[in-house]
Amino acid sequence: MKKIDEYQGKKVLVMGFGISGINAAHLLVKLGANVTANDKATPKNNDIVDDLEADGIKVITGDNPISLANEGFDVVVKNPGIPYDNPLVAAFVKQGTTIITEAELGWQIFDGHLVSVTGSNGKTTTTTLTQLMIAEDAKHQVKYAGNIGISFSKIAEDLGPDDTLVTELSSFQLLGAPTIHPHIAIITNIFSNHLDYHKTRENYINAKLNITRNQTKDDFLVINWDRDEWQKIAQRSQATIVPFSRLNKSHEGSYVEDGMIYWRGQEVMPTKDIRLIGPQNVENALAAIAAAKLSGVTNDAIKKVLTTFSGVRHRLQYVMEYQERLFYNDSKSTDIEATEVALQGFDRPVILLAGGLDRGYTFERLVPYFKKHVKAMIVFGECKDKMKDAGNQAGVPVVESENAITAVPEAWKLSEPGDVILLSPANASWDQFPSFEVRGDKFIEAVEELTGKKEQ
């Protein structure tokens, strides 16, 4: 951990009691700040408040009182999910108060080698693969943190100058990380996500580009080269560009040719040996390989990881096989693009479980994928009627169900040996579940109840 004094004696407000917010509050006390912690909700677990107060932190819960804007805070550390049009946050913006996220705080105290990953889809898998590959060959600590569910600043506290940290960073985190400077940055892809938060696609792209904003030619931006738009986005970086591509050969980076993965013209391994299924996971592997090779990792270490790693929970996660049916949990597919790529990963008939929060869009884009890959659909949630319309356009039998749990026995009734039963909702979970993780866990529990087996 790097010793810094910029928070000594400063008055800091931490907004949000998530994992990162709680750790940030305790860390700021160590850094000499006078800390107030605020959460709009009242925690069900009193231990959270007790622990904060025991560290000398003033705690305010149950509201984001606008009066806090008049208390002279020098810095606000904001939970990434709190939008900037929140009345209290907006008041701080108007005042010109410094507003950061915990990712910025983590960067400020980090004293090692930083690799950072962002993108619309594939962030967690790419982050995990990159960490595993570098760790396989490393003589020092290699950890991961960030949007993957582990506090950046908490892990950064325990790492030294020779250690490596691979961080997954969301657009929300990056908006509040103005000085972050990874030596290797990865952009997996950019679609049109979170426009309810960012308002415009350009705002969303700009937030993503904060990952490379402070990079120089001595740093590297590893970026997907499969779309012209992403190639143009790369031109906005000052870093050395390292492309990865499943579709376009480029000797400057990692690519696929005739079923073989290459790094700068040298063979690495066949794509068929990657344990993860689907074209999106080939792309994730290519991104991780580029970052790993830039970090000096051997091909043997890369092969070991890619031939054994079976997936991140909720991201096209293999659950089990039962009576010749394969169950997959892809609850993290909260947008259309993610479900598109999930369906392309299977050469067996798919019973698709889909639906969730209605964000106002329809699903005609999925119709060709339904026609090609889907045998039947079980739909649920606020947008089930729109999802059903797309299924009907594709000529696919559609059954309505209450949610992702009740859909499991319905899918079983429609399945036959050789089928895949896939939860890939194409929508957020918040109409029925607090998170995609909870939705995926409940799906797995329903599969276990149906089969009498535990996930594999």
* Residue 415 marked ligand-binding: no
Q: Is the distance from CB of 181 to CB of 107 less than 8 angstroms?
A: yes
The answer to whether 169 and 118 have CB atoms below 8 angstroms apart is: yes
Pair of tokens at residue 336: 């259309």
Residue 125 labelled as part of a binding site: yes
Instruction: Please report, as a single letter, which amino acid is at residue 295.
Output: S
Query: How far is Cα 30 from Cα 42, in angstroms, rounded to an integer?
Result: 25
120 known member of a binding site: yes
Strands 260-263 and 75-78: unpaired
Q: What is the CA 342 to chain-centroid distance, rounded?
A: 16
What single-letter amino acid sits at 31?
L
The residue to which tokens 């480029």 are assigned: 250
What are the start-end ranges of the H helices in 147-247? 152-157, 171-175, 195-198, 201-209, 228-234
119 known ligand binder: yes
Answer yes or no: is 124 a known binding residue.
yes
User: What would the two tokens of residue 112 be?
Assistant: 């090692």
Comparing CA positions, the residue from 36, 41, 131 lying closest to residue 74 is 36
362 labelled binding-site residue: no
**Pairing relation of β-strands 317-322 and 325-329?**
antiparallel
Q: Is 121 labelled a binding residue?
A: yes
Of 360, 351, 399, nearest to 383 by C-alpha is: 360
How far CA 13 is from CA of 28, 57, 61, in Å, comes to 10, 10, 13
Q: Distance (Å, rounded) from C-alpha 166 to C-alpha 451?
A: 37
Question: What single-letter DSSP state applies at residue 107?
Answer: H
Burial class of 115 by CB neighbour count within 10 A (0 to 12, 13 to 18, 19+) = buried
DSSP-assigned beta bridge partners for residue 15: 38, 78
The C-alpha atoms of residue 276 and residue 287 are separated, in whole angstroms, by 14
- Which residues have a Cβ under 8 Å from the Cβ of 170 and sit 6 or more positions away? 80, 118, 123, 147
Known binding positions: 119-125
As annotated, the binding site for ATP includes 119-125
